[in-house]
């Protein structure tokens, strides 16, 4: 149970960092591309976290799948890091133009509510001996928090992320076995985040190559 709570805290912190890097700052193509590459990189780590959480629900006799997922995760992270490093190298800007603007009060209010609801729900489920529902609850709460943030941050794609997480969580409830359900849920969210990372980094690199050489 403690491992689930630690993952919850890590996931929310990582998501908050990702959102901060996605805020449009100075209208400079290279700065925006760097921020989007960083955001996508964080997304790959978040996806990996969900995938690894999912491995906790793999039966002991299927340990080979844990090894396979670990290998795939290493490939995904390695590729994501290499793409992000490429963007950092070829989209170099002066240090005074790299920072993102400060996050507003509305953002922190949404994140604070997310912490309260996610942490409180996890504790209530443990107290009610329904710990197997914690991954579903966290996925729904984290997904829902993206909906207001999409408007607060002016980032419509975040709405899609939120809806996708809620839909994946809802669909997983159709699976009667708790272990299989949580494995499907975590893997679904992990694969979705990986797919977004792949798409985003490829788009960033493509846009970067289209910029004039300075």
pLDDT of residue 92: 65
pLDDT of residue 26: 36
pLDDT of residue 103: 62
How many whole angstroms separate alpha carbon 22 and alpha carbon 14?
A: 13
How many whole angstroms separate alpha carbon 65 and alpha carbon 60?
A: 10
- State mean pLDDT over 173-178: 94
pLDDT of residue 14: 55
Whose tokens are 């679904």? That residue is 188
How many whole angstroms separate alpha carbon 141 and alpha carbon 113?
A: 10
How many whole angstroms separate alpha carbon 95 and alpha carbon 98?
A: 5
pLDDT of residue 17: 53
Please say if the pLDDT value at position 43 is more than 60.
yes
Q: Which residue has the higher pLDDT, 130 or 34?
A: 130
Tell me the per-residue pLDDT of 177-202, one tens digit each, with 9 for 90 and over.
999 999 999 999 999 999 999 998 88
Q: Where are the domains of the chain?
A: 27-96+105-208
Under the banding of pLDDT at 50, 70 and 90, the label for residue 18 is: low
Pull the structure tokens for residue 95.
């240090």
Tell me the per-residue pLDDT of 85-143, one tens digit each, with 9 for 90 and over.
888 887 665 444 444 555 678 888 888 898 899 999 999 999 999 999 999 999 999 99
Under the banding of pLDDT at 50, 70 and 90, the label for residue 1 is: low
pLDDT of residue 98: 47
- State mean pLDDT over 33-51: 86
Q: Which residue has the higher pLDDT, 16 or 138?
A: 138
How many whole angstroms separate alpha carbon 76 and alpha carbon 197?
A: 9
């Amino acid at each position: 149970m403690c491992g689930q709570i630690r993952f919850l805290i890590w996931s929310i912190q990582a998501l908050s960092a990702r959102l901060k890097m996605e805020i449009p700052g100075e209208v400079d193509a290279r700065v925006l591309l760097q921020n989007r590459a960083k955001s996508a990189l964080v997304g790959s780590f978040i996806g990996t976290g969900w995938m690894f959480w999912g491995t906790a629900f793999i039966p002991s006799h299927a340990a080979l799948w844990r090894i396979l997922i670990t290998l795939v995760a290493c490939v995904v992270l390695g590729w994501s890091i290499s793409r992000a490093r490429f963007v950092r190298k070829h989209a170099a800007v002066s240090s005074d133009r790299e920072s993102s603007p400060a996050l507003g009060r509305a953002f922190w209010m949404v994140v604070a509510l997310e912490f309260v609801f996610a942490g409180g729900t996890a504790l209530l489920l443990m107290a009610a001996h329904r710990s197997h529902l914690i991954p579903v609850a966290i996925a729904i709460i984290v997904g829902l928090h993206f909906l207001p943030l999409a408007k607060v941050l002016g980032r419509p794609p975040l709405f899609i992320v939120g809806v996708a997480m809620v839909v994946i969580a809802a669909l997983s409830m159709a699976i009667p076995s708790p272990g299989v359900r949580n494995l499907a849920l975590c893997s679904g969210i992990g694969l979705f985040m990986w797919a977004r990372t792949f798409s985003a980094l490829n788009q960033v690199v493509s846009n970067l190559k289209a910029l004039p050489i300075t």
